[in-house]
Copies of this chain bind each other. A is one copy, B any other.
Amino acid sequence: MEEDKDKFSEWYLRILEDAELIDSRYPIKGMIIYRRWGLFIIRQMQQYLEKLLEDAGHEPTLFPVLIPDNVLGKETEHIAGFEEQVFWVTHAGANELERKLALRPTSETAMYETFRLWIRSHQDLPLKIHQSCTVYRYETKHTRPLIRGREFLWNEGHSAHIDDEDARKNIEEIKEIYGKLINEMLCLPFMVNRRPEWDRFPGATDTFAFDTIMPNGKTLQIATAHNLGQNFSKVFGITYEDEKGEHKHVYQTSYGPSFGRLLAALISVHGDEKGLVLPPEVAPIQCIIVPIFFKDADKERIQKYADKVRKKLDELGIRNDIDYSDDRPGNKFYHWEMKGVPLRIEAGPRDLEKNELTIVRRDTGKKSQIKFDRLCEIPKIFDEITENLRAVAKKKFNERLIKVKSIDEMKKSSGRGILSLGWCGKDECSEKIEKHVDILSVDDGKGKCIVCGKSGKSINSANTY
């Protein structure tokens, strides 16, 4: 995972196939097949996120995948932002449909038609719903599995509020929830960047993006949260009756993480030259047991011992498997390391004699002995692995936060991470900056423009996916 970009891309594509996370040979460009190993991780993320959302009062729902053209087109900025990316269903059987139907690129419009029916009074607010589903965008840029596809898996949340303050409060709640998913569960460092006006979600008054940094120095936007103000409620006629009997338009927010991009970041940030390194919480197999015997005479008692270990792990609720294949132990080690299994348990004649086991951590490669009776300590080891992964990733992330003070420094650092620099606020200067990096956010901090030297604001910038 060196900075050599081609090397990273090669590694990334190879590990997707080798670890059987996905299969990208499906006969439609930008659409992939999720296989067991990748799908399991995504489902773990999804369940974790859904629980956090539902504990905070966001209700699960599921809307149809198709949106009539007149509904999708109601909010003019919104449709302008998506119209080039929409897949259209125009026929059913041999008949042309009366009205063409869009594969949802996102569900604001589909849902807000119904919000009008669901919301009557201030007692119906806040309304907070979410759904895990697939969305469709006809990407014209180069597609990359999990990173930029034409079908992707996400969770999208939508809310309606009495006032702007409550809408903002919801965005803060979402920031906290997504933070837990991204950093606590997946051990990924990230930065929330308030996107500049020209890079907002179509129809939003404000867009916050969750950016992480990939091993090649590019940033990857893994989630967003939008303040929609009253833009949609006015167009869709979503009003509530307040306590005085007055009818008012609701304030809205929408937000979503991409499960595919989170998986891409998880793979890339934690992975190493041996393959995947998975945090225990998302690993399909948390412990792989490898029975080791050199003489056939040992086989039976070693297998018995391995089975006993498996039973113990089952009791502890640890996802595990025994590798009884005919392969040599070395090949087994190599295979399960490549698959990212957090902990390997070797059960050999020596281990059996001492009623212990040899355990090897995937993250550090550290080997140690553990007594059979101490297997209950594995969850604690998992915590250590998780903490270590988070710390190592954070360190790498911090090394890629770079302050630059001149055009030359920017050129030199471009592609190495997130660059913080000063900008006067004028288009002529930002145009020069954007020749080299994309602007992630313009914050309120002060900075001296690296182009003209005038004082202005501080901006974050990077090469982005």
Give me the interface of A with B, judged by CB distance under 8 Å.
23, 25-28, 31-36, 39-40, 43, 59-66, 68, 71, 83-94, 100-101, 103, 110, 113-114, 117, 134, 136, 138, 151, 153
Contacts and interface: CB of A to CB of B under 8 A. Distances in A.
A114 B31 contact: no
Contacts of A59: 35-36
B86 A60 contact: no
A117 B62 contact: no
A61 B87 contact: no
How many copies of this chain sit in the oligomeric assembly? 2
Given A84-B93, A86-B92, A87-B92, A36 B61 contact: yes
Contacts of A23: 114, 117
Contacts of A85: 92-93
Nearest to A284: B60
17 contacts: A23-B117, A25-B117, A26-B63, A26-B113, A28-B101, A32-B64, A33-B61, A33-B64, A40-B60, A64-B151, A83-B93, A84-B93, A85-B93, A86-B92, A89-B103, A90-B90, A93-B138
Contact of A66 (B31, B35, B64, B100): B31
Contact of A88 (B92, B113, B114): B92
Contacts of A151: 64-66
B27 A134 contact: no
A71 B134 CA distance: 22
A92 B33 contact: no
A88 B32 CA distance: 19
Given A34-B61, A87-B91, A89-B103, 16 more contacts: A23-B114, A26-B63, A26-B114, A28-B66, A31-B64, A33-B61, A33-B63, A34-B62, A43-B60, A65-B103, A66-B151, A83-B94, A84-B93, A84-B94, A89-B89, A93-B138
Given A26-B63, A40-B60, A88 B86 contact: no
